[in-house]
Structure 1
Amino acid sequence: MHGHPATHSAHRRTLTGLILAGGRGSRLGGIDKGLLDVRGTPLVQQVAARLAGQVDALLLSANRSLDRYRALGFDPLTDGPYVDAGPLAGIRAGLAACATDWLLAVPCDMPFVPLDLRARLLGAAPQDDCRARVPFDGEHHHYACVLLPGTALGAVTAALDAGRRSLRGLLDDIGWLGVDFAADRHAFTNLNTPADVAGALSAESS
């Protein structure tokens, strides 16, 4: 694959992946979305497969069904004291467990994320630029699919301790940039039901 020099250097930077599966699944009547079986495979495993070749380590944030996630090979991280604090709490847990320079968080219901997500996010700015990176699909920024520097842990913890839960607000605090993925307009589709998956696959093939 051809790319700019920054993209090639990005491959040498260490990165941990984090699948965010700690949500309540309220739009599904409380179903644990990461375990939703879609065409024979739980969504969390589909996301893990997309990230497998892109990350140097893979973590999972979850607050229930922990034994079921362990049976799938994960060692789930919980939100600890930050109960019901949303994805920011899961990201804090990931940053706390992260031993690499960067953390790439991806929601568990986003099984079409690009296979070059790591390279394009890291390659979007010079190597010494520590701003967070957020995909932009041509219409929306996907803030929960975010590349964060490991140094963001302090800012995330401080925000949660202050009762702040906004991921966008945290990104504004630490600095971030949008990265153009407009050519991959279906890649960041959030799937809530098998019907959503069928619709997304149909759109991709059209």
Structure 2
Amino acid sequence: MKQPFGIILAGGLATRMGGGDKTMLALGGVPILSRIIDRIAPQVAALALNANGDAARFAGMGLPVLADSIEGYAGPLAGVLAGLDWAAEHGAETVVSVAGDTPFFPCDLVPRLLLASEGMAHPLVLARTPDGRQPTFGLWPVALRHDLRAALEGGLRKVVMWTDGHGGREALFDDPGTPFFNVNTPEDLARAHAMLEGDE
């Protein structure tokens, strides 16, 4: 299998943070997005950002910015679809998605997702921790993008309903700590600063 492309999902409304771009909040002196790029870029063949609105606000990040093609903020699956369509244009077979507000995810995310997908005709794997599935972290097959588009246009929004319907697998991440901790509130951002200081 070819090395996957990567898509950072940042298309949400960030309502619990008061709006704006969570990904651009400073964590340890740099935007959260920069930390995410540093983690995922070495693991993928190419990388893009899924975000809606004016793409110019991400101009300094050096990534193509892909807007949802489904109207009305259809959730993370719409961002996955944008990544799949982009990857298809460049001949890629799979896309790995990561959340734009989760700065500490594993640096070996992609190889572990790929390992879990061995033998699948259409590699479809979600990350899982002992606390449950992490539906914004997954390996997605370009071959099913038209099926996903039809499901979204039909009103589907729940990630696991679609993945389960296609025999999706899970990759267990039982790493110590909270590698999939995400920043949703100002309190979360404060905790992320504390976690960063503990790491460094």
| TM-score with structure 1 setting the length | 0.86
**Deviations 1:169-199 (CA, angstroms, capped at 9, x unpaired):** 1112222111111124411111234303124
Deviant stretches of 4+, over 4 Å: 202-205
2:40 counterpart residue number: 51
| TM-score with structure 2 setting the length | 0.89
After TM superposition, give the deviation of residue 81 of structure 1 in Å: 3.8
After TM superposition, give the deviation of residue 129 of structure 1 in Å: 4.3
5+ residue gaps, structure 1 = 1-11
Structure 2 residue identity aligned to 1:198: H
> What is the distance in 1 between the residues matched to 2:162 and 2:92?
20
In 1, are the aligned partners of 2:130 and 2:173 still within 8 Å (CA)?
yes
Match 1:190 to one of 176, 182, 191: 182
Match 1:64 to one of 46, 49, 53: 53
Structure 1 residue identity aligned to 2:42: G
Aligned Cα root-mean-square deviation (Å): 1.9
**Deviations 1:90-138 (CA, angstroms, capped at 9, x unpaired):** 1111110013111000010111111111111101242444241111111
After TM superposition, give the deviation of residue 50 of structure 1 in Å: 0.1
After TM superposition, give the deviation of residue 64 of structure 1 in Å: 2.6
5+ residue gaps, structure 2 = none
**Deviations 1:124-165 (CA, angstroms, capped at 9, x unpaired):** 242444241111111111011111111120121011111211
1:32 counterpart residue number: 21
What is the correspondence of 1:123-202 to structure 2 with a 5 Å cutoff? 123-192=115-184, 193=186, 194-201=189-196
In 1, are the aligned partners of 2:33 and 2:101 still within 8 Å (CA)?
yes
2:94 counterpart residue number: 102
Structure 2 residue identity aligned to 1:55: V
What is the correspondence of 1:3-14 to structure 2 with a 5 Å cutoff? 13-14=2-3
- For the residue of structure 1 that corresponds to 2:135, the secondary structure is coil
Match 1:122 to one of 106, 114, 119: 114
Q: 1:185 to 1:120 in 2, by over 3 A?
A: same
> What is the distance in 2 between the residues matched to 1:59 and 1:40?
23
> What is the distance in 2 between the residues matched to 1:87 and 1:107?
9
Aligned length: 194
Q: Which stretch of the first structure deviates more once superposed, 127-136 or 55-64?
A: 127-136
> What is the distance in 2 between the residues matched to 1:151 and 1:196?
39
> What is the distance in 2 between the residues matched to 1:126 and 1:71?
37
After TM superposition, give the deviation of residue 80 of structure 1 in Å: 2.8
Q: Identity of paired residues, percent? A: 32
After TM superposition, give the deviation of residue 204 of structure 1 in Å: 5.7
In 2, are the aligned partners of 1:189 and 1:200 still within 8 Å (CA)?
no
Are 1:74 and 2:63 counterparts? Answer: yes
> What is the distance in 1 between the residues matched to 2:58 and 2:173?
30
